[in-house]
Amino acid sequence: MANEHYLTLANLRTRTRDQLDEASASFWTDAQIDRYVNRGMHRVWNRLKAANEYYCTVTRTSLDGALTIQGESYSSTSFQIVAGTSDYTLPPDFDQMSTIEVITSGFEDLTFTRLNINDPEFRAARSFTDNQTPSDEIFYDIIGEPPIMRIAPKSSVTLNLRITYVQTLPDLSADGDRLTLPRPLEMAVCDYAVMYALRQDRSPDAGTYEASGDKLVAEKFGSDLRQTQDVQIARGFMEY
């Protein structure tokens, strides 16, 4: 069942048209508005990622089996560490890694550390010709497109992983597709969509909507930051 908390593309298009004072297609077609909404969504998503806000993360394990991710078939065993293999295909919605945890019994304390493949330590680990029994650390880097995780040294045992990563957001295309960003960031998405539309019209008001979108994003970040940093006071203990 769809999460009614999130607005649909049709909702976002209507809100954008309300701000443009064009209830039905005249100067701007629905297809154009949809493109501007998607541009606005990706702009907000990039701001979230840059601020290290983990709204767009997903956790998967190598035991999850066959998956369909953003319309593509993918087997979670693709990132299961197997003996003698250095390169592993990551999920199609992967953008950047947050954490890697080993869930195979007996290897839970094994650490995956990201290093550039040109780092001397990484190159030294890759130089081992024999597979190595993991002890305390495996190096990895993300290369290529689609994304590949390369490890060093190669393992001599099978390791199941739990990975948490920032995922890409697919474009909204059908009217019922939902914007999966926390509220009230849908307002910023619409402001940016209006900005792009007004730029097409060479309107000087485009900058006003850009500033409004920026303000909404900044306020959202500031609100969340205060919630994590405010001093917590326990009431009722030794009060007079």
Question: pTM score, two decimals?
Answer: 0.78
Per-residue confidence (pLDDT) for residue 51, from 0 to 100: 75
Please check the confidence at residue 3 and state whether its pLDDT lies above 60.
no
The CA-CA-CA angle for residues 11, 214, 216, to 5°, reads 60
Q: Confirm if 69 and 167 have CB atoms less than 8 A apart.
A: no
Q: Give the tens place of pLDDT for each residue, 53-84.
A: 667 889 999 999 999 999 999 999 999 999 99
Q: Lowest-confidence range among 50-64, 128-142, 175-189, 201-215?
A: 50-64
Cα–Cα distance, 141 to 147 (Å, whole number): 10
Average pLDDT over residues 113-133: 95
Per-residue confidence (pLDDT) for residue 4, from 0 to 100: 63
Per-residue confidence (pLDDT) for residue 239, from 0 to 100: 42
Cα–Cα distance, 98 to 79 (Å, whole number): 15
Per-residue confidence (pLDDT) for residue 223, from 0 to 100: 54
